[in-house]
Amino acid sequence: MAYDSIVCVKQVPDTANITGEAMKADGTVNRAALPAIFNPDDLHALEAALDVRDRFGGTVTAVTMGPPNACEVLRECLYRGADRAILISDRRAAASDTLATSYILSCAVRRIGRYDLVFCGRQAIDGDTAQVGPQLAEKLGIPQVTYLEAVTELSGRTIRVRRNVGNGWEIIEGRLPVLLTVLDTGYVPRPAAAKRVMRMKKARAAMEIGMELSKTIADAAEREKEQARRVQSLKKAGLLIEQWDLDEVKADLQWCGMAGSPTKVHRVQSIVLTKEGYTEIPATPEGVKQMIHELIVDHTIG
């Protein structure tokens, strides 16, 4: 029996490699200076989905929500073996918190229609919340299994998986469809296949083509005509990355973006990373007390 999987992926700033150059003079992070990467856990989610397809047949559809640049991670999914890639992009989705994000993704999954398995990475390195997976499962009305290390059995509509809960592991059995969030300890992501890279590197979403053309064609009408022509030819070649906005996934705007997000950012403080030598603390009770106080103030310790 073949299974259709959807894998949710995200393009994230490489927060693990923030250096002095990525910090602005005022101590805030300069996102533009950070390389955008494929969220690490999501590569493992993709691998889990591809592995199921390789063993049992079926399809893998990669979905991401973000600006047109996020197509880079979709192309990476295609290079590694995904059958279909969809970009959810809409300015009205900006400032979505995890709840609004999971709502929008659930609308996209519903539009895809048929699916047996939904895979997500455990968490994304920009927010580290690990909330979108479980919230997407709830919005879809399906069970979730978090911290997946392996799909151990799949037969008919029954699935068995192994999850790692930190201080041990569990084998869980359920009926499809189910959503799985994947750890980085179970699957080893395959590299991009050279042949697929050759074929898929021209894959684009319509918005990307528009952005590329805006640099070369000044006349709007002419640009649109050229965009339509290129979209058609990519479609014919099977290289068009589908692109949906909030209307196309039938999202109710009251649950999207800022309006749909119960949590608001009240304040942001930056941790200044520039390090010029160290602060010498005298080995006295007063000196040590002052240091502990500073660590409490900057939330290093509770």
By CB under 8 A, what part of segment 266-285 binds another protein? 266-271, 273, 275, 278-285
Gyration radius (Cα) of the chain, Å: 22
* Site membership for another protein, residue 2 (CB under 8 A): no
Interface pattern 35-74 for another protein (x via CB under 8 A): ----------------------------------------
Interface pattern 152-191 for another protein (x via CB under 8 A): --------x----xxxxxxxxxxx--x-------------
Of the residues 36, 59, 111, 143, which one makes contact with another protein according to CB under 8 A: 143
Q: Residue 256 carries which side chain, given as an amino acid letter?
A: C
Select 112 or 281, whichever has its Cβ closest to another protein. 281
Number of residues that bind another protein (CB under 8 A): 76
Conformation bin of residue 58: beta by default, left when phi > 0, alpha when psi is -120 to 50: left
* Site membership for another protein, residue 301 (CB under 8 A): yes
Of the residues 146, 207, 208, 251, which one makes contact with another protein according to CB under 8 A: 146
* Site membership for another protein, residue 5 (CB under 8 A): no
Give the CA distances from residue 253 to residues 66, 107, 138, in Å, rounded to whole numbers and listed in that order. 17, 11, 19
The token pair at 213 is: 């053309």
Select 130 or 213, whichever has its Cβ closest to another protein. 130
Terminal CA-to-CA distance of the chain, rounded, Å? 52
Residue 299 CA to chain centroid, in angstroms? Answer: 28
* Site membership for another protein, residue 259 (CB under 8 A): no
Select 155 or 279, whichever has its Cβ closest to another protein. 279
Select 156 or 262, whichever has its Cβ closest to another protein. 262
* Site membership for another protein, residue 29 (CB under 8 A): yes
* Site membership for another protein, residue 145 (CB under 8 A): yes
Residue 239: CB partners within 8 Å, gap ≥ 6? Answer: 199, 200, 202, 203, 204
Select 81 or 121, whichever has its Cβ closest to another protein. 121
Residue 36 CA to chain centroid, in angstroms? Answer: 12
Contact indicator for 10, 39 with CB cutoff of 8 Å:
yes
Residue pointed to by tokens 């969030």: 181
User: Nearest CA to 259 among 102, 67, 96?
Assistant: 96
Residue 200 Cβ, how far from another protein at the closest point, in Å? Answer: 30
Q: Which stretch binds another protein (CB under 8 A): 63-71, 75-83, 190-198, 259-267?
A: 259-267
Q: Which stretch binds another protein (CB under 8 A): 8-16, 108-116, 197-205, 220-228?
A: 8-16
Select 216 or 263, whichever has its Cβ closest to another protein. 263
Contact indicator for 22, 34 with CB cutoff of 8 Å:
yes
* Site membership for another protein, residue 210 (CB under 8 A): no
Query: Which DSSP symbol is given to 176?
Result: S
Helix (H) or strand (E) holding 222: helix 220-236
Residue 256 Cβ, how far from another protein at the closest point, in Å? Answer: 13
Q: Which residues of 227-249 are buried (b: 16+ CB within 10 A; e: fewer)?
A: beebbeebeeeebbbbbbebeeb
Q: Which stretch binds another protein (CB under 8 A): 36-44, 54-62, 68-76, 293-301?
A: 293-301
Answer positive or negative: Cα dihedral of 94, 95, 101, 104: negative
